[in-house]
């Protein structure tokens, strides 16, 4: 009788343990391919060394012509002239992509330049 | 200098040009756009930025700035997603892809190796074949990568050759993908299929042809959208700056020309392709400015082909942007000459054919009827077109404003008493397409001349198909 009770207790304990542990869950793994295209990085270029002192320098301002940007750059020009009376401000405008010819002109005529795209 | 809301876009463009450490000074977008109306208004914004500007120009470069390293894009061939059930794994996959900006906001089909192989069965072309690079970040478009995106879009293998041809059009060096993909102007794409493959893959060309409910129309367009996202690394508000988004942006305007009800040869035949060829035409179109204008048709009010034609001509003729608004160095969208897509509903096209028009003679009729007598131009308009001609010859202006060299003699010739000056660059800039069902609407969608590459319109041959009779 006692032996039977023991087996019953063992059985109940096992059942309870299984219930507490919860059902054994299977894992599903989805392996998918990357949709991204490979990018061949272009060669990197360093920005030009900075001009430590702007006094007497030729400062270019390039604007892509988007309307209202001219008002902003007019004020910037005035402020630069106030701060740097001996510097010259040269204004340029054209498409957002300078192109080699215009970039060459800027490099030739200016000591440094600001590229202001207007948006 | 750049507004802060375009900061990510500008940095991304600098990286793409090999200058990842380019110094940028940002001005607040919230202030700049509303205040740029006058010097007085914008002055506080300039004052706020001037010290930062001087600092950026003069502070010595750091070692890191002076020795930029290219941004390395980690490419993983396969991605493993584990979850407690298939449903949860698919959910996890979708969320992960969207979080990475690899999706489009709608549920995606997981591109498992097996499913991609299934997709590739639709073409005989090598999975490794490179068809081009995709703007703005110039990711490489291979047949396999396009197939992966086609799987995600829910396309069928027999659509793959069509999707590849569309991507060939968009990655063509002459096609201005950069503008349609990234511009703040919310431009859009039209993807049109011609030839026998359209019927074989059950594309809709009738009632509802620009809408939902046709797997081929919708998933071909969506596969192109996802390919642009993943091969061009395109994402809204980061480098796709469409301010109001792009209408139908998940699938674009993807449809087949209604060849069955058209009185004329299929569109691609007018480009020298054979009737039995199948082709895809990709074309940039407007969305709000230059969006659809309906000229007649429909089930409600009566119409005549003649009245529709007159209304279209009147609208085109009133658009005199080619004459007076151009000014060198000033970006003015209202000064860019137009390209027109004239979408005629079949009944209207049939009536026009009865009146004696062919596709070619209709293009010519639009071109000639809208040209303006020299005597009707104001002095300002004459000056405007003269300056445009001179600037087109000298160069250094945005391509959208340029009169191509081949057309300059035409404009010079008519710019004198007795001459008639065209409002469009050439008759070929007016595309006549037959679309929609019976009844239908006749409408136009227009776009400007492409600003960053020679063209915004390409027709490509579909080839390599293995599962359809056409497009092989």
> Is the Cβ–Cβ distance between A61 and A92 less than 8 Å?
yes
Interface test with B, best of A22, A25, A26, A32 (most B CBs within 10 A): A32
Q: At residue A36, does pLDDT exceed 60? A: yes
In 3D, which of B419, B423, B422, B426 has the Cα closest to residue B405? Answer: B426
Per-residue tokens: B25: 């000074």
Which has the higher per-residue pLDDT, B179 or A101? Answer: B179
Q: At residue B333, does pLDDT exceed 60? A: yes
Which has the higher per-residue pLDDT, B261 or A19? Answer: B261
B68 contacts in chain A (CB < 8 Å): 44-46
Taking an 8 Å cut-off on Cβ atoms, the answer to whether A34 and B43 are in contact is no
| Average pLDDT of the segment spanning A69-81 | 95
| Average pLDDT of the segment spanning B95-100 | 98
> Is the Cβ–Cβ distance between B400 and B425 less than 8 Å?
no
> Is the Cβ–Cβ distance between B366 and B312 less than 8 Å?
yes
- The residues pairing with A39 across neighbouring beta strands, listed in sequence order, are B139
Q: Supply the pLDDT for residue B239.
A: 93
In three-state secondary structure terms, A48 is coil
Q: Supply the pLDDT for residue B464.
A: 98
Q: At residue B17, does pLDDT exceed 90? A: no
Q: Which helix (H) or strand (E) holds A89?
A: strand A88-93
Interface test with A, best of B42, B64, B72, B239 (most A CBs within 10 A): B42
Per-residue tokens: B161: 């050759």
The pairs formed by B92-97 with CB atoms below 8 angstroms and a separation of 24 or more are B92/A30, B93/A30, B93/A32, B97/A35, B97/B152
Per-residue tokens: B140: 């490489």
**Measured distance CA(B23)–CA(B394) in Å, rounded:** 32
Q: Can you say how many angstroms the Cα of residue A62 is from the centroid of all Cα atoms in its chain? A: 23
Which has the higher per-residue pLDDT, B271 or A7? Answer: B271
Taking an 8 Å cut-off on Cβ atoms, the answer to whether A119 and B399 are in contact is no
Across A43-52, A98-107, B51-60, B446-455, least confident range: A98-107
In 3D, which of B126, B139, B89, B80 has the Cα closest to residue B109? Answer: B89
Q: At residue A14, does pLDDT exceed 80? A: no
| Average pLDDT of the segment spanning B423-429 | 96
| Average pLDDT of the segment spanning B67-91 | 88
Categorize the per-residue pLDDT at B398 as very low, low, confident or very high, splitting at 50, 70 and 90: confident
First CA to last CA distance, chain B: 51
- Check if A22 contacts B (Cβ < 8 Å): no
Upper half-sphere CA count for residue B114 (Cβ side, 13 Å): 3
Per-residue tokens: A76: 């910037």
Categorize the per-residue pLDDT at A16 as very low, low, confident or very high, splitting at 50, 70 and 90: low
In this structure, what are the phi and psi dihedrals at residue A66, rounded to the nearest 5 degrees? Answer: -70, 130
Taking an 8 Å cut-off on Cβ atoms, the answer to whether A76 and B50 are in contact is yes
- Name the one residue in this structure whose structure tokens are 């999975």: B127
**Measured distance CA(B468)–CA(B196) in Å, rounded:** 10
Give ∠ CA B413-B414-B416 in degrees, rounded to 5.
100
> Tens digits of per-residue pLDDT, B228-270?
999 999 999 999 999 999 989 999 999 999 999 999 999 999 9
Taking an 8 Å cut-off on Cβ atoms, the answer to whether A51 and B58 are in contact is yes
Q: Supply the pLDDT for residue A97.
A: 79
Q: Where are the alpha helices (DSSP H) in A1-109?
A: 2-21, 69-83, 99-109
Interface test with B, best of A24, A25, A39, A105 (most B CBs within 10 A): A39
Q: Supply the pLDDT for residue B324.
A: 73
Q: What percent of chain B has pLDDT over 70?
A: 99
Which has the higher per-residue pLDDT, A12 or B147? Answer: B147
Cis? peptide before B136, omega within 30° of 0: yes
Q: What percent of chain B has pLDDT over 90?
A: 85
Q: At residue B304, does pLDDT exceed 80? A: yes
DSSP code at position A67? T
Categorize the per-residue pLDDT at B118 as very low, low, confident or very high, splitting at 50, 70 and 90: very high
> Is the Cβ–Cβ distance between B234 and B240 less than 8 Å?
yes
Q: Supply the pLDDT for residue B241.
A: 93
- Check if A94 contacts B (Cβ < 8 Å): yes
| Average pLDDT of the segment spanning B15-20 | 89
Categorize the per-residue pLDDT at A13 as very low, low, confident or very high, splitting at 50, 70 and 90: low
Cis? peptide before B439, omega within 30° of 0: yes
In three-state secondary structure terms, A35 is coil
In this structure, what are the phi and psi dihedrals at residue B359, rounded to the nearest 5 degrees? Answer: -60, -45
> Is the Cβ–Cβ distance between B292 and B278 less than 8 Å?
no
Mean pLDDT of chain B: 94
Identify the sign of the CA torsion B452, B160, B132, B73.
Answer: positive
In this structure, what are the phi and psi dihedrals at residue B469, rounded to the nearest 5 degrees? Answer: -70, -35
In 3D, which of B194, B398, B389, B353 has the Cα closest to residue B282? Answer: B194
CA–CA min distance B251, chain A (Å): 18
- Per-residue b or e along B441-456, where b marks 16 or more CB atoms closer than 10 Å to that residue's CB: bbbbbbbbbbbbbebb
**Measured distance CA(B191)–CA(B459) in Å, rounded:** 10
**Exposed, middle or buried: residue B130 (CB in 10 Å: 0-12, 13-18, 19+)?**
middle
Q: Supply the pLDDT for residue A106.
A: 93
> Is the Cβ–Cβ distance between B182 and B239 less than 8 Å?
yes
Domain boundaries, chain B: 2-66, 113-461
Name the residue among B18, B89, B145 with its Cβ closest to that of A35: B145
CA–CA min distance B360, chain A (Å): 34
pTM: 0.92
CA–CA min distance A9, chain B (Å): 34
What is the value of ipTM here, to two decimals?
0.93
A27 contacts in chain B (CB < 8 Å): 82-84
| Average pLDDT of the segment spanning B207-211 | 97
Q: Supply the pLDDT for residue A11.
A: 61
- Check if A42 contacts B (Cβ < 8 Å): yes
**Measured distance CA(B339)–CA(B236) in Å, rounded:** 26
Which residues, 6+ apart, have CB-to-CB distance to B374 below 8 Å? B382, B414, B415, B416, B417, B418, B419, B420, B421
> Tens digits of per-residue pLDDT, B21-51?
999 999 999 999 999 999 999 999 999 999 9
DSSP collapsed to 3 states, chain B: CEEHHHHHHHHHHHHHCCCCCCCCCEECHHHHHHHCCCHHHHHHHHHHHHHHHHHHHHCCCCHHHHCCCCCCCCCCCEEEEEECCHHHHHHHHHHHHHHCCCCCCCCCCCCEHHHHHHHHCCECCCCCCEEEEECCCCEEEEHHHHHHHHHHHCCCHHHHHHHHHHHHHHHCCCECHHHHHHCCCCCEEEEEEECCHHHHCCCCCCCCCCCCCCHHHHHHHHHHHHHHHHHCCCCECCCECCCCCCCCCCCCEEEECCCCCCCCCCHHHHHCCCCCCCEEEEEEECCCCCCCEEEEECCCCCCCHHHHHHHHHHHHHHCCHHHHCCCCCCECHHHCCEEEEEEECHHHHHHHHHCCCCHHHHHHHHHHHHCEEHHHCCHHHHHHHHHHHHHHHHCCCCHHHCCCHHHHHHHHHHCCCCCEECCCCCHHHEEEEECCCCCCEEEEEEEECCCCCCECEEEEECCCECCCCCCC
Q: Supply the pLDDT for residue B72.
A: 73
């Amino acid at each position: 009788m006692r032996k039977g009770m023991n087996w019953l207790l063992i059985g109940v304990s096992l059942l309870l343990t299984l219930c507490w542990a919860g059902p054994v869950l299977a894992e599903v793994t989805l392996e998918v391919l990357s949709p991204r295209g490979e990018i061949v990085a272009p060669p990197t270029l360093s920005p030009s060394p900075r001009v430590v002192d702007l006094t007497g320098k030729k400062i270019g301002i390039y604007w892509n012509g988007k309307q209202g940007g001219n008002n902003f750059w007019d004020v910037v020009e005035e402020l630069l002239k106030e701060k740097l009376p001996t510097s010259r401000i040269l204004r340029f405008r054209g498409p957002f992509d300078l192109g080699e010819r215009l970039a060459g002109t800027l490099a030739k005529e200016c000591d440094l330049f600001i590229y202001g795209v207007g948006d | 200098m750049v507004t802060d809301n375009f900061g990510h876009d500008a940095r991304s463009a600098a990286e793409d040009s090999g200058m990842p450490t380019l110094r940028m000074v940002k001005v607040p977008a919230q202030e700049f756009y509303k205040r740029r109306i006058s010097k007085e208004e914008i002055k506080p914004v300039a004052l706020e930025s001037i010290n930062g500007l001087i600092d950026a120009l003069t502070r010595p470069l750091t070692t890191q700035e002076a020795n930029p390293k290219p941004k390395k894009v980690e490419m993983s061939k396969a991605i493993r997603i584990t979850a407690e059930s298939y449903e949860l794994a698919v959910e996890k996959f979708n969320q992960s892809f969207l979080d990475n900006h690899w999706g489009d906001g709608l549920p995606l089909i997981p591109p498992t190796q097996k499913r991609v192989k299934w997709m590739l069965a639709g073409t005989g072309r090598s999975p490794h074949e490179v068809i081009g690079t995709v703007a703005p970040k110039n990711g490489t478009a291979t047949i396999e990568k396009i197939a992966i995106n086609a799987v995600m879009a829910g396309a069928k293998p027999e659509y793959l050759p069509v999707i590849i041809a569309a991507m060939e059009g968009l990655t063509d060096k002459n096609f201005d993908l950069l503008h349609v993909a990234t511009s703040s102007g919310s431009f859009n794409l039209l993807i049109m299929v011609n030839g026998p493959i359209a019927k074989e893959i059950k594309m809709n060309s009738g009632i509802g042809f620009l809408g939902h409910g046709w797997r081929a129309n919708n998933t071909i367009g969506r596969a192109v959208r996802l390919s642009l996202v993943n091969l061009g690394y395109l994402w809204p508000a980061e480098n796709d700056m469409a301010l109001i988004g792009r209408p139908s942006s998940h699938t674009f305007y993807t449809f087949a020309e209604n060849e069955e009800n058209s009185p004329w040869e299929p569109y691609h035949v007018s480009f020298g392709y054979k009737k039995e060829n199948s082709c895809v035409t990709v074309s940039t179109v407007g969305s709000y400015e230059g969006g659809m204008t309906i000229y007649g048709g429909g089930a409600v009010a009566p119409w005549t082909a003649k009245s529709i034609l007159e209304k279209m001509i009147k609208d085109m003729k009133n658009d005199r942007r080619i004459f007076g608004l151009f000014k060198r160095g000033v970006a003015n969208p209202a000064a860019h000459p137009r390209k027109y897509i004239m979408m005629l509903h079949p009944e209207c096209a049939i009536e026009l054919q009865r009146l004696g028009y062919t596709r070619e003679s209709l293009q010519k009729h639009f071109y000639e009827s809208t040209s303006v007598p020299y005597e009707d131009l104001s002095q300002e308009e004459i000056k405007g077109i003269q300056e445009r001609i001179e600037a087109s010859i000298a160069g250094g202006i945005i391509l959208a404003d340029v009169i191509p060299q081949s057309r300059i003699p035409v404009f010079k010739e008519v710019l004198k008493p007795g001459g008639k000056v065209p409002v469009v660059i050439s008759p070929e800039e007016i595309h006549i397409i037959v679309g929609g069902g019976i009844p239908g609407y006749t409408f136009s969608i227009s776009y400007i001349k492409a600003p960053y590459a020679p063209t915004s319109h390409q027709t490509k041959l579909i080839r390599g198909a293995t599962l359809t009779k056409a497009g092989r």
